[in-house]
Structure formats: C-alpha cells, structure tokens
Amino acid sequence: MIDPQDQANCWIRTKEAQHGLKVIKLTDGNFLRTLDNCIRIGMPVLCEEIGIGETLDPSLEPILLKQTFMSGGQLLIRLGDSDVDYDKNFRFYMTTKMANPHYLPEVCIKVTIINFTVTKSGLEDQLLGDVVRLERPDLEEQRNKLIVRINSDKNQLKAIEDRILKLLFNLEGNILDDEVLINTLNESKVTSGIITNRLIEAEKTGEEITTAREKYRSVATRGSVMYFVVASLAEMDPMYQYSLKYFTQVKRILCTCWVKGSDHSPKIDFGI
C-alpha cells in the first residue's frame, strides 16, 4: 500500500487490532520468526516502511504468491528452510511511505498495489466528518448508525437472494411441488418488502443528514486547501515537512478551543 500520510497504516491497525495484529519491518532480526508464528495461528501481519530500492526477502515469495500445498492432510507453506502449518485466517499487509515509488515489475506482479495517497476531495470529506463530529456529534453518530443499518439491510437482501438461488439450483421436479421453496419464496417476498421500505426511509434520512452536514463543507474545504499549501512548502525546503496526522491534531485543537454558540449553525471557521 502506497501510504505517505499513514492513512492505510492507521486503518489496518484499527481494523486488525481485535485479531492481534503484529507489526514488523524487513530490517527486524526476528521478522521470519514472527511470520512463522502468525502463519501458524492465523494472526494478521503488517510489514511497514518498505523502501523504494529495497528488495524483498526471497522467503516472502511463497507468502506473496500464496504457494500453499497439502501434505499429510495438512495445509502447509514454505517459509525459509521449513514447512509451516498455514492457517487460512492469516493476512499479510505491506506499506510504504514513498509517495511515488517505482518498484520493479517482478515485485509488482506478486502483490496488489493500492494507492492511499490523500487527495483534496478525499481529505475534504475526512475533515468534514471531523468537524461535524466536533460541532454536531449527534448528527455524525446518527449518520454512522444509518450507514451500518443500510449495509446490514443490503447484506440481508443479498442473503435472501442467495438462498433462493441455491434452492432453485438444487430443485428436482416441478417447482410447484416443492413446499420448502414455495414457503421460502413467500417469506422472502414479505421480508424483502420490509427491508426495501426500510432502505427507502433510510435513504431519505441520509439525504437530510447530508444536507445538514453540508453547512460545514466550507470549513472542510479550507482545511483541505491549507494542508496542501503547507505540504507544498517541502518543495521549497525539506525542513518544512508536516505530516497529515500533525495537521489534523492542530486542526482539532483549534476547533475544540473555539467558543460555540447556542444554535447549530457553523461556528468553526478557518481563515486563509
């Protein structure tokens, strides 16, 4: 993952924290031992700070290409000089802080490259969420719950469709003679109708929340512009380098120190 602002790194750490994420570097003396343990028990691994000219350890190739094999009824993978039991829950992530790395083709074909470099519009949306969370925490909480509910309903609809398709695939004889299928179709029709109506209501609520959040768009826009102006100073002198994390921390301090009024109109503003 191309991650100059540590966005992917923070996301992976948060996402995989509950699964016991292990963080390593290729320069660590015990990185193979850590990999060995994590592969055996199915723990995720994050390999940080892959350099632009750094060659990957050859022992990683079986992991990157997922060269697993069966032996004695066990799923194994070759790691270094030994065969290791491979747990299917194992996940391996790699990140680099290089903004525009040029890796060799033989490296690129072994991995999936995802660019997490922040964009103006992406940062603007991120800052908008931060500002609304400070000014209207109730609104942002409602939005987050709505997103979870919509995704849950869509997954439920997908599960219903998959179940019907499975029953149709396994159908033998006349469809009208299959009581299980008929009952499932009737139940699914009712459930789908309820979920569809819920989704329509949720979308309307979502539009209302979006309208309310847009009141703070100008603050987020100015914040995004300010970050990229500050980031461009590094082109003049490398001494002027400020991370996105530092910038957002300063922004939060400014926002939380701002005196709020009694209404829900935007109180936070940035001057340029």
Domain ranges of the chain: 7-110, 120-261
The structure tokens listed for 272 are 């340029």
In 3-state terms, the chain is what percent helix, strand and coil (to 5)? 60, 10, 30
Q: What is the pTM of this model?
A: 0.65
**Confidence band for 40, pLDDT divided at 50, 70 and 90:** very high
**Is residue 60 pLDDT above 60, yes or no?**
yes
Percent of the chain with pLDDT over 90: 10
d(CA 203, CA 148): 13
Pairing of strands 22-25, 74-79: unpaired
Report pLDDT digits (tens) over 103-136: 778 788 888 888 888 888 888 888 888 888 888 8
Residue 217 pLDDT > 80:
yes
Across the beta sheet with 92-94, the strand order is 22-25, 45-48, 92-94
- pLDDT over 60 (residue 272): no
DSSP summary character for residue 83: E
* Residue 271, pLDDT score: 46
pLDDT attached to residue 211:
86
48: number of CA atoms within 13 Å, CB side?
14
What mean pLDDT is reported for the chain? 82
> pLDDT higher for 167 or 86?
86
Instruction: Tell me which of 1.10.540.10, 3.40.50.300, 3.90.1150.10, 3.90.850.10 is the CATH number of domain 7-110.
Output: 3.40.50.300
Kindly report the number of other CB atoms within 10 A of residue 37's CB atom: 14
Q: Percent of the chain, pLDDT > 70? A: 92
Distances (CA, A) of 88 to 32, 75, 82: 18, 9, 18
| Per-residue pLDDT, 258 | 56
